[in-house]
Amino acid sequence: MIAFVRGAGSLAALGFISLFVVGCALVSRAQAQPIKVYATLPDLGSLALAVGGDEITLTVAAKGPEDAHFVEAKPSLIKALSEADLYVQAGLELEIGYAPLLLQGARNAKVLPGNPGFIDASTVIAPLEVPPAPIDRSQGDVHPFGNPHYLLDPLNGLRVAALIRDRLSALQPGRRDQYARRYDDCRQRLAAALAGERLAGEYDAEQLAVLHEHGKLMDFLSQQGDSAALAGWLGAMAPYYGTKFVDEHNLWPYLARRFGLVVAAHLEPKPGIPPALKHLENVIALVQSEHIKLVVTAPYYDPKHASLVARASGAQVVHLAHQTGSVAAAADYLSMVDYNVRTLAAALAAGR
């Protein structure tokens, strides 16, 4: 039985208890509310959903078929960012044309650099192609901190997913286990996609991918008696290790490195600079002399230059997905990687 005793001390105690209960309720409600995540790119949004599930709501600035370098800082995007709890960008100045405008216009301190609500995903990857200083406009649209298209390598995607998991957990500690479970599921699905179910269960699939990158995977598996068990993306690409291709824009170095391919030339003479006929003639000569079979392009590029090179050289134009949602078959991050690998493998097989 609880006895109620009147008096100033009792009233003060009741007031404190009431405030405590209200405070706990507010904290509980805050923990129960979905985290509002704002991603600049569809790949980042897909990874956030894979880890966050129903515990997040998502806004993505760039649309799948768009060139991620150029996104309009629309009022609707600024408003959504003003209400966000977590902002995720690719970094390496990929979004330099619009991210500062979005962040400045949103006036949301939670998502500014240095605060828990700001993620630059490039902090967990090793950039390729960092140019030597000094850099000037005569070099084209060079990214001074390295090539920003690192999400086309699925191992980098996994690293970014882990970063998002950790930040979501910091913002909502009560849901740490849910975020961890979803990340683990994502990691297991990616491992099976990389090397096949059997090898993913017996080996560290990420280490198998690194061995493939360095041309040592088949020797390793042969020593283990497991060569015939290799499946998945690595199995699809293993026969084509060292194969060269040319591309439109320098989008694919991370994908090429991961799956053992070589980018021999770009149709753009410099990043962001349309090719002149003389440059295309040089590329055609290279394609013919090196017996290169593929000209790789992305949906947002005018196909005329790639088609011209292919017709003149006998190569095949291959349309890859530069990000999630850029083609119908790339509805999420893993399906985007899968589409690219399957498309490349089919084109290379046809060109043999």
pLDDT at 139: 66
**CA separation (Å) from 231 to 183, 202, 238?**
23, 13, 9
Sequence letter at residue 56: I
| pLDDT tens per residue across span 262-319 | 999 999 998 888 999 999 999 999 999 999 999 999 999 889 999 999 999 999 999 9
Q: With contact defined as beta carbons under 8 Å apart, do 94 and 143 qualify?
A: yes
Q: What percent of the chain has pLDDT over 90?
A: 84
Pull the structure tokens for residue 94. 């990929």
| pLDDT of 12 above 80 | no
Contact by Cβ (8 Å): 173, 122: no
- What whole-number distance in Å separates Cα of residue 84 and Cα of residue 106? 9
The beta strands (E) that lie in the chain are given as 35-39, 56-60, 86-89, 118-120, 244-247, 262-266, 294-297, 316-319
Element (H, E) at 232: helix 232-237
Whether residue 39 contacts residue 45, with contact meaning beta carbons closer than 8 Å, is answered with yes
Q: Are 280 and 267 in contact (CB under 8 A)?
A: yes
pLDDT tens by residue, 36-78: 999 999 999 999 999 999 999 999 999 999 999 999 999 999 9
Average pLDDT of the residues in 150-164:
99
pLDDT reading at 231 higher than 50: yes
Does 117 score more than 50 pLDDT?
yes
Stated as kind and residue range, the H or E segment containing 134 is none
Looking at the DSSP assignment, which residues form a beta bridge with residue 57? 36
Q: Distance between CA atoms of 326 and 251, rounded to whole angstroms?
A: 14
- Using alpha carbons only, how large is the chain's radius of gyration in Å? 25
Q: Which of 255, 265, 248, 272 is nearest to 69 (CA)?
A: 272
Residue 207's Cβ-side half-sphere holds a number of Cα atoms within 13 Å equal to: 8
User: What's the fold here for domain 237-350?
Assistant: Rossmann fold (3.40.50)
Neighbouring C-beta atoms of residue 236, cutoff 10 Å: 19
In whole angstroms, give the CA distance from residue 222 to residue 24.
60
The pLDDT of residue 218 is above 90: yes
Q: Same topology for domains 32-126+143-186 and 237-350, yes or no? A: yes
Distance CA 255, CA 57 (A): 29
Contact 37, 46 (CB under 8 A): no
Architecture of the domain defined by 32-126+143-186: 3-Layer(aba) Sandwich (3.40)
Q: Which residues pair with 260 in a beta bridge?
A: none
Helix (H, G, I), strand (E, B) or coil at 36: strand
Judge whether residue 11 has pLDDT over 60. Answer: no
For residue 115, the one-letter residue type is N
- Return d(Cα 60, Cα 45) in angstroms, integer: 6
Would you kindly state where each structural domain of the chain is located, as residue ranges? 32-126+143-186, 197-230, 237-350
> Global pTM?
0.90
Q: Which residue has the higher pLDDT, 28 or 125?
A: 125
CA distance linking residue 150 with residue 274, whole number of Å? 23
Q: Say which amino acid occupies 230.
A: L
The first and second tokens of residue 95, run together, are 């979004």
Among residues 117, 66, 68, 73, the alpha carbon closest in space to that of 90 is found at 68
Residue 319, strand partner residues? 297
Coil, strand or helix: which one is 326? coil
Q: How many helices (H) and strands (E) does the chain have?
A: 14, 8
Question: What was the pLDDT predicted at 141?
Answer: 67
